[in-house]
Chains A and B, each alone.
Chain A
Amino acid sequence: MKTVRAMVLVSSDPQSLLNGAEQVYQQLQSEIAAFGLEDEVSLKMVGDIGRHDAVPMVIIYPEAVIYGPVKPEDVHHLVEEHLYKGRVAAELQAPVRELSGRIAWLSARKGTLPAEKRVVLRRAGIIDPTSIEEYIIHDGYSALGTVLGEMQPSQVIDVVKKSGLRGRGGAGFPTGTKWGFVAGTKSEKKYVVCNADESEPGTFKDRLILEGDPHSILEAMAIAGYSVGADEGFIYVRGEYTLAQERLHHAITQAEEMGFLGENIFGTGFNFKIHIHSGAGAYICGEETALIESIEGKPGLPRSRPPFPTTHGLWGKPTLVNNVETLANVPPIIQYGPEWYGTLGTPSSPGTKVYTIMGHVNKTGVIEVPMGITLREVIAIYAGGMKPGSSFKLAQTGGSSGSVIPASLQDTPMDFDAYSRAGVSLGSGALLICDEDTCVVDLGRVLINFFRNESCGKCSPCRIGTQRSYEIMESIANGNAKLEDLQTLINLADSMNEVSNCGLGQTAGTPIRDILKYFRAEVEAHIRLHVCPTGVCEIKIPV
């Protein structure tokens, strides 16, 4: 990944463009070249930055200095002072204003150039996943050794609590607290389950960890087992992940041979064995209680809760269910300490987040960045910007727990709390970036169609609600809907949310609700004017 010393952003909302943002951009380009700084400085047009009093604005990282309004003739001085000589060109700075709302993140980011920070992916793509020796060279199994040799189970749980780690499976539940629940439940037998079902559309971060660094999950599960008092674990792996399953089987055999799994681990009397259970392609089996049913050999239908798996899980025993990425965070937390972990990310969401990036951007793939980075940064820096000639319209954060993120939320820090305050959610870590040629009705229809097909049918709000919502989305796409139908969609989303039995139904209406909130005019155009503004839906005008 190319790293730059400074990043220059130019606002390009309509007002900025009117006031000459293009010329400023071009001038910046030639001045940066004139000073020979092309390789050290990146330059980007960034759309609306949420402040219009002094546009066009130029923002320079890592100092996060805001200049504005900038005229083309100011640019030479600006580049020479700030980028070449390294001091702030005070006379060009934008009037100081209380930082609020969308640009508050600028000050939070002061002094740190957003960098990809690999914690859970630190070995993926580096080591040979079939070699336990390479895992050991890269500090493997030393966290387990430390835990077993030097810590009480309750101390381990305290460390995880203190780290502030929150579940990466979608809901963001505090991991240490969950471990505490299982540890606090008295039982002869307990289980640890690793949720590797990863069936959220477009998400493949867990696969990358399982395929690239399988031992890290085994190590984390053994640590979790010791902490909560379990001696047996299951990894529930998505059926399509054959390579991941192969690598896990291989890793388990190696770990057993060397005594990291099995009996009397590290000579401490602690026993732990791990089984692999292959899923069979149902999305619902990623939901933890359906997953547990599935391991038990029953159809994958979610249970009613309470009781929760922490007290009544697999075969009725207390069970800890954690996502792959969540678990992969545990060994480094043990190794480097909760204080170190807290230096990454934001206070409410410490650590990093792995995202899979797809859609109309130049570079797709998987990244790991500190929590609290913004969508704009993800797109501009890690995704290499939008594809030529296209501009950002929305992002979909993936799966049942995800949201539709409009341009106005591009500068909201991506962490659990800031997103939930903004009324959206991070979801599973998939980022589907869509440009302005994407039709929101079409998108909504595709998403609800997924939920309709994957609804297990156990509870009627979800079974009927997803079907009915799909039919309405279909009729909007065909130009046959009425305006009242939009209220029906909202009512359906609300009732599914309130009375469905599990997260699938509870969140199935979220994308549609988001679309109606942020893109209502576009939806209404389909109904009132029989026009799909992006030309995606084929509407036959009724005669």
Chain B
Amino acid sequence: MPTVKSLEDLKRIREEALQKRQVKAASGEANIVVAMGTCGIAAGAREAMKAILNLIETENIPGIIVTQTGCIGLCEREPIVQVQVGEQPKVTYGKVTPEIARRIVKEHVVEGKIIEDHVIPM
């Protein structure tokens, strides 16, 4: 990352980052975001994350970016996983076990079917 020396620098970096993100979204790339606050990890977010990464690797599924985020406040519904495919609206899943995590990749991301039972209405 370059050093920021002025507000203009900051604005430029922000624009570039935004553009990068839009290009990714436009290419239909899927984003899976696992909430990894202390509460999420305690509830099993690492296991969910591992299940997702393993499946992507073993089945060699392209076009998925897996990242983490903090707690959103719904500690009781952890582990929480958010999925956004391309420019479609974001879907939030709660109480994601490794099994559900694998289903999210297979059914939601690959086949495009939202797993309604586990969605948290936001």
Query: Which of the 9-residue segments B49-57, B71-79, B100-108, B110-118 touches chain A?
Result: B71-79
Instruction: Name B1-60 residues within 8 Å CB distance of A.
Output: 1-7, 10-11, 13-14, 17-18, 21, 33, 35, 37-39, 41
Select which of A125, A137, A241, A243 is within 8 A of B35 by beta carbon: A125
A260 and B70 contact, CB distance less than 8 A: no
Known: A136-B13, A137-B18, A207-B38. A259 touches B4 (CB 8 A): yes
CA distance A121 to B6 in the complex (A): 27
CA distance A142 to B3 in the complex (A): 14
CB-CB nearest in chain B for A265: B4
Task: Point out the residues of chain B lying under 8 angstroms from A146, CB to CB.
Answer: 7
Task: Point out the residues of chain B lying under 8 angstroms from A208, CB to CB.
Answer: 37, 70-71, 73
Select which of A129, A131, A259, A368 is within 8 A of B5 by beta carbon: A259
At the interface, is chain B mostly helix, strand, loop or mixed? mixed
CA distance A211 to B70 in the complex (A): 6
Instruction: Name A70-125 residues within 8 Å CB distance of B.
Output: 121, 124-125
A137 and B72 contact, CB distance less than 8 A: no
Known: A257-B1, A364-B75. A142 touches B69 (CB 8 A): no
CB-CB nearest in chain A for B33: A128
Task: Point out the residues of chain B lying under 8 angstroms from A130, CB to CB.
Answer: 68
CA distance A2 to B122 in the complex (A): 6
Give the size range of A's interface with the partner.
35 or more
Select which of B3, B41, B73, B76 is within 8 A of A125 by beta carbon: B73
Known: A137-B18, A146-B7, A259-B4. A125 touches B71 (CB 8 A): yes
A125 and B5 contact, CB distance less than 8 A: no
Select which of B10, B18, B38, B72 is within 8 A of A142 by beta carbon: B10
Task: Point out the residues of chain A lying under 8 angstroms from B37, CB to CB.
Answer: 125, 207-208, 211-212, 243
Task: Point out the residues of chain B lying under 8 angstroms from A239, CB to CB.
Answer: none
B17 and A133 contact, CB distance less than 8 A: yes
CA distance A125 to B76 in the complex (A): 14
Task: Point out the residues of chain A lying under 8 angstroms from B2, CB to CB.
Answer: 258
Task: Point out the residues of chain A lying under 8 angstroms from B77, CB to CB.
Answer: 365
B7 and A149 contact, CB distance less than 8 A: yes
Size of the chain B interface, CB-CB below 8 angstroms: 34
**A194 at interface (Cβ–Cβ under 8 A)?**
no
Q: How many A-B residue pairs have CB under 8 A?
A: 113
CA distance A128 to B66 in the complex (A): 10
Task: Point out the residues of chain A lying under 8 angstroms from B35, CB to CB.
Answer: 125
**A374 at interface (Cβ–Cβ under 8 A)?**
no
CB-CB nearest in chain A for B35: A125
Known: A243-B38, A258-B1. A212 touches B21 (CB 8 A): no
B4 and A260 contact, CB distance less than 8 A: yes
Cβ distance A222 to chain B, nearest Cβ, rounded Å: 13
Select which of B11, B14, B72, B80 is within 8 A of A124 by beta carbon: B72
CA distance A121 to B73 in the complex (A): 9
**B62 at interface (Cβ–Cβ under 8 A)?**
no
CA distance A141 to B17 in the complex (A): 14
CA distance A243 to B72 in the complex (A): 16
CB-CB nearest in chain A for B2: A258
Task: Point out the residues of chain B lying under 8 angstroms from A124, CB to CB.
Answer: 69-73
CA distance A521 to B10 in the complex (A): 63
CA distance A2 to B75 in the complex (A): 16
B7 and A136 contact, CB distance less than 8 A: no
Select which of A125, A136, A363 is within 8 A of B72 by beta carbon: A125
Task: Point out the residues of chain A lying under 8 angstroms from B33, CB to CB.
Answer: 128
Q: Which residues of A contact B (CB under 8 A)?
A: 1-2, 121, 124-134, 136-137, 139, 141-142, 145-146, 149, 204, 207-208, 211-213, 241, 243-244, 254, 257-260, 266-267, 363-368
Q: Which residues of B contact A (CB under 8 A)?
A: 1-7, 10-11, 13-14, 17-18, 21, 33, 35, 37-39, 41, 67-77, 80, 121-122
New contact pairs (17) apart from A208-B70, A260-B4, A365-B74, CB-CB < 8 Å? A124-B71, A124-B72, A128-B67, A132-B1, A137-B21, A142-B11, A146-B7, A211-B71, A212-B69, A257-B1, A257-B3, A259-B5, A267-B5, A267-B6, A363-B74, A365-B73, A365-B76
